[in-house]
Amino acid sequence: MIALYQSGLSLAAVGKNLGINASTVLKYLRANGVPKRSA
């Protein structure tokens, strides 16, 4: 999940790839200290 996000995919795209909601992706990334990219 972290690698997908850091490769440039959006939260929504990462979620779609993994079959989960974008908000779940964001929650996981935050819990692991990954900064959210600016839009």
Q: Quick one: pLDDT at residue 39?
A: 66
Give CA–CA dist 39/37, Å, rounded. Answer: 6
pLDDT at site 38: 83
Six-digit token pair at 7? Answer: 């490769």
Write the pLDDT tens digit of every residue in 1-39.
999 999 999 999 999 999 999 999 999 999 999 999 886
Domain ranges of the chain: 3-32
pTM: 0.87
